[in-house]
Each structure stands twice: as C-alpha cells, then as structure tokens.
Amino acid sequence: MAEQISQIFFFLFPDFTGLKLFYLLFKIRKKGDAKIIKTIISYIETRINIKIVGADIFLEDILMTNGILTKSKISDSNFRDIDLAIKTCKKIGNDDLGQACIVSNGEVIITEDINGTDYMLYKAIKNKKEEARGGFLIKILKPIQDPRVDLPTVGINTLKLIKELGLNGIILENRKAFLVDKENMIKYADKNNLFIFGI
C-alpha cells in the first residue's frame, strides 16, 4: 500500500489486545505518524511477539538507487541546494511533521505537513508556482522514524504534479524510498525532462 492512510479507527471492533493498543494510541493521538507507528510496532513485537520486517526486503526492485536514474541530469543550481533541502527535511522530520520539501534558487518554498506530499504539491501549484519553478522536490526518511515502516514513497502522480509545478525533478535517498511503477516513472520523467536523483 502506497497511499495516504485514512483514519478508520471508529469503524473497527477490536478484541481485548486491540483495545489495549487503542488505549496507548489514544494517549499519543496528537503526536505525529512516526511516534504512532513506533508505538504500534513496539506493542506488536513485545506484547504479541511478532517480528516486524521492512517492506524493502520484499520490494527490492522498486527501491531507490544511488545517482541519476533519468536522461535529465541535476543542474548545478539544484545540486547546490541539496544541503539546504536535507537540513530542512530533517528539521520537519524531527518534529514529526513530514518527509518532504520543495527548494528553489537557495530558498525553501514549502514544507510537507501531516497532510502529505501530494497536498503540499497541490498547495504549491495554487500559491507558489512562480517561486518554485526550476526547483526540486526532496523526500527523505524522518530521522525519528523506524525505517522498516512508512518509507518515503512516490509514483507517477507525484511526477505529474512536479511537472505541473515547473520543478526540475525529485531527490530521494538511496535504498530508503520506493518508486511505485519504477520503470514507467523513469519513462515519464525522461519524456518530460525531469530528473530522479538518489543521494
């Protein structure tokens, strides 16, 4: 599953074990995704004795790899902005707000919040199109999150929004992000002069 998860707790009918977990989640309901996911993993591993493994073990073929995946290369200007982009993502990641931001010409244009990457892109298309033009989207793992769960994930729709916004491409971490339909993503990026770059 690579879509944003809806809150469906009110439609579930848990057993006693589930109720105990729900109680723990209720206490941290105002925390971010990483804290909630860590709580669930800890509960499953310590109370139910089930070992959680990362999806990357089974989805090796769609993991991001190092370097450039596309015909379009990253520009010198975009390359210079990578450090700023990483620092920004780590800051919002440590605050458990999001995994992504958009950077252009040495400026952070917009950062992801709990509503997700696509929402951030739609918002930027509506309000920040001129400032964002020629920049890039970066999406990296939150420093505080468990890497086995909720790896950054992008797909064709992400690339379509990037193109609409006038960005040059997307930057992801080597082996720490999924590209859904990777082959077609690369084809789309090549057709539309977008780069996909792994760091």
Q: How many CB atoms lie within 10 A of CB 110?
A: 21
146-162 per-position pLDDT tens digit: 888 888 999 999 999 99
Whole-model pTM?
0.81
**Cα–Cα distance between 139 and 197 in angstroms, integer?**
11
**Cα–Cα distance between 121 and 130 in angstroms, integer?**
13
Task: With residue 41 as reference, give the H or E element that holds it.
Answer: helix 33-47
How far is CA 60 from each of CA 64, 142, 170, 174, rounded to the nearest angstrom? 9, 20, 20, 12
85-125 per-position pLDDT tens digit: 999 999 999 998 999 999 999 999 999 998 999 999 999 99
Are 185 and 156 in contact, with CB atoms under 8 Å apart? yes
**Cα–Cα distance between 17 and 133 in angstroms, integer?**
50
